Amino acid sequence: MPEMTPRERVKRFFKREPIDTMPVFSGMGMVTIQAIDKMGIRFAEVHGSPDYLADSASTSSDIYGFDSVVVPYDMCTIPEAMGRGCTVYADAEGILYPTVPSKWDNYESIEIDPDYAAKARMPVVEDAFKKLIADGKYAVGSWVLGPFTLGGQVFELDVLLKGIKKEKEKVEGFMEKMTDVVIDVAKRYQALGTDYITIREMGSGTDLLSPRMWKQLIQPYLRKIFAELESPKILHICGGTDLIVDLMNDCGADALSFDQKNTLAETRKKIGDEVILLGNFDPYGTFCTMDASEVEGVIKGCIDAGVDAVWPGCDLWPEVKKENVEMWVKTVRKYGIRPTPAVGRV
């Protein structure tokens, strides 16, 4: 059988059909400074142009041999379309991710423009997807923040957190609104033909919320979201997750993704071999600070712990060391020919 194309490999991977080798990919941003430099642009310029977004993603994959491309790179597209603004730090020396400058700070002032999906950079991202899909070379990954994390982007997080106990109905009403937005945007990305979608409920780990609160406040909405979406659909949470693995596994996602704080081997035992497990190296530490010689150990550690594909715990920080990323790809290609718990080999 001839070697699979990146796109075939990823599509079969999520269907849990036998593949030739483990794909090297992620559900979160994978843009690298090498691609940005090659294009002769600056990171701050990337976010506003469909061509820059699409080209920086595919150039990164061309350079390193990734199997997927993922856009956008920042978490402000929806907040910006809702009128909360976006700071891109055009003058910053190094790389800074865009942030949201103004948030709602009381429930009464929240007003969601029914036409937000056509505003600000929402069409830019969709055009970038269209270009990447038309190109067809790589699997196209999309993502949307989970309702709680998106909520924290448009509304003062501490007011939201305090409200969980003090103003329960208001918080629930707000979470419902955010859930509708997540479903709406995710469905748009699926309708365009993206190959998989990751729901990143990253601000909801046990660094902030107790497992009990997670069950009450996060799980019902994630269940609703996953029930509405087509497969393949992945749930990602970063930070402390060991105490909520079972709850996460009961949301309707096809695959679960964790960051470096998760004890993966234990997680694999809890979820069994049927569920696709993704994770969990620290992208900044592994690619930006570590010596390249240490990378193989980290990547192999993830495989030994029982992942089906070695995902970074978050977006790649773009200023990666080239040799380190190459080592990720090389190590996955070397050990990834063997089957993993949820995905066989041809």
Partner 1 sequence: MVSEERRKEILDNLSEGVVEYEEDRVVEYATAALEEGLDPFDAIMNGLAAGMEIVGDLYDRQEYFVPEILMCADALYKGLDILKPHLKKDSNGAGKPKGQVVIGTVQGDVHDIGKNLIKMMFDVGGFTVHDLGRDVPLEKFAEEQLRTDSEIVALSAMMTTTMMGMKKVIAMIKEKNPDVAIMLGGAPVTKDVAKLFGADGYAESAGNAVQEAIKMIGQLRKLGEEAAQN
> Which residues of the chain form contacts with ligand B12 (CB under 6 A)?
75, 97, 99, 149, 152, 157, 202-203, 205, 207-208, 238-239, 259, 284, 313-315
Residue closer to partner 1, measured from CB, 112 or 288 = 288
CB of 235 to ligand B12, least distance (A): 15
Among ligand B12, partner 1, none, what binds residue 165 when CB lies within 5 to 8 Å by partner kind? partner 1
In what helix (H) or strand (E) does residue 142 lie, and over which residues does it extend?
strand 139-145
Cβ 177 to ligand B12, closest distance in Å? Answer: 18
Nearest residue to ligand B12, using CB?
A: 203
Comparing C-alpha atoms, which of 37, 141, 61 is closest to residue 328?
Answer: 61
Nearer to ligand B12, 6 or 152 (CB): 152
The least distance separating partner 1 from the CB of residue 48, rounded to whole angstroms, comes to 18
183 or 316: whose CB is closer to ligand B12?
316
Structure tokens at 170: 């208001």
Q: Residue 136 burial by CB count (10 A; 0-12/13-18/19+): exposed, middle or buried? A: exposed
Nearer to ligand B12, 255 or 316 (CB): 316
Structure tokens at 116: 């937000």
Q: How far apart are CA 23 and CA 25, in angstroms?
A: 6
Provide φ and ψ at 53, rounded to 5°. -60, -50
Q: Which is nearer to partner 1, 45 or 180 (CB)?
A: 45
> 277 is in the binding site of which of ligand B12, partner 1, none (Cβ under 5 to 8 A by kind)?
none
Residue closer to ligand B12, measured from CB, 157 or 247: 157
Least distance CB 30 / partner 1 (angstroms): 17
**Using CB distances below 5 to 8 A depending on partner kind, what does residue 292 bind out of partner 1, ligand B12, none?**
none
* Shortest Cβ 28–ligand B12 spacing (Å): 7
Closer residue to ligand B12 (CB): 107 or 135: 107
**Residue 230, helix vs strand vs coil:** coil
Minimum gap (Å) between residue 266 Cβ and partner 1: 17
Least separation in angstroms between residue 284's CB and ligand B12 is 5
203 binds, among partner 1, ligand B12, none (CB under 5 to 8 A by kind): ligand B12
Nearest CA among 42, 63, 62 for reference residue 52: 42
How far is C-alpha 213 from the chain's CA centre?
A: 23
Residues 6+ apart with CB under 8 A from 279: 257, 258, 259, 260, 262, 264, 302, 307, 310, 311, 313
Between the alpha carbon of residue 45 and those of residues 51, 75, 302, the distances in Å are: 11, 15, 34
Partner interacting with residue 102 (select from partner 1, ligand B12, none; CB below 5-8 Å by kind): none
Alpha helices in the chain (DSSP H): 6-14, 33-39, 43-46, 50-64, 77-81, 122-135, 147-154, 157-166, 168-192, 211-213, 219-228, 245-248, 264-271, 283-284, 292-304, 322-335
Residues in touch with partner 1 (CB under 8 A): 87, 89, 92, 94-97, 99-101, 157-158, 161-162, 164-166, 206-210, 213, 284-285, 288-289, 317, 319
Q: β-strands 276-281, 139-145: how paired? A: unpaired
49 binds, among ligand B12, partner 1, none (CB under 5 to 8 A by kind): none
Q: Which does 279 bind (CB under 5 to 8 A by kind): partner 1, ligand B12, none?
A: none
Helix (H) and strand (E) counts for the chain?
A: 16, 7
Nearer to ligand B12, 4 or 76 (CB): 76
Dist CA 186 CA 266 (whole Å):
31
CB of 158 to partner 1, least distance (A): 5
